[in-house]
Amino acid sequence: MSSFPFQSSFRKPYKLLVRTEGQYIKGKWVNGEEVEQEFTASIQPLNTREMDRLSAMMQGRHIASAVKIYTDFSLQVAGENQANGTVVMFEGGRYEVVARSSYHNGVIEHYRYLAQRVK
């Protein structure tokens, strides 16, 4: 992706957690470990209308907190390929990516993700 000088001025470094592959040990499933990686993004809280839309998309499940993430980094979305979504660390909380919109129009190529707070 080509980069514009102003493109990264709103982005800051954040941490995300990538889970390594799990495995069966003595017949029991053991989850993989979480490995921290750094990426750059602009992360902002959702407004009321966006929260309502996300709640409807999540079939009415209670959502305590959610954010939108703008980045050119590809993140895993929950439910894709039978996998959990990427967990992004923001203001001391863990947010799991639950939706993606792609913007690849040749101007400022990026993704917009929605992520909900998880324990």
Evaluate whether residue 95 is within a structural domain. Answer: yes
Evaluate whether residue 111 is within a structural domain. Answer: yes
Evaluate whether residue 16 is within a structural domain. Answer: no
Residue range(s) defining the domain that contains residue 56 = 41-118
pLDDT, residue 8, reads 54
Question: Domain total for the chain?
Answer: 1
Evaluate whether residue 4 is within a structural domain. Answer: no
* Residue 34 token pair: 């979480």
Is the predicted pLDDT of residue 20 greater than 50, yes or no? yes
Q: Among 67-71, 82-86, 87-91, where is mean pLDDT lowest?
A: 82-86
pLDDT, residue 82, reads 67
**C-alpha to C-alpha distance for 30 and 108, rounded to whole angstroms:** 41
- The pTM of the full predicted model, rounded to 2 decimals, is 0.79
Evaluate whether residue 11 is within a structural domain. Answer: no
Q: Among 2-11, 23-32, 96-105, 110-119, where is mean pLDDT lowest?
A: 2-11
Over residues 25-35, mean pLDDT: 89
41 and 12 in contact (C-beta within 8 Å)? yes
Return the C-alpha torsion angle 40, 74, 42, 100, nearest 10. -170
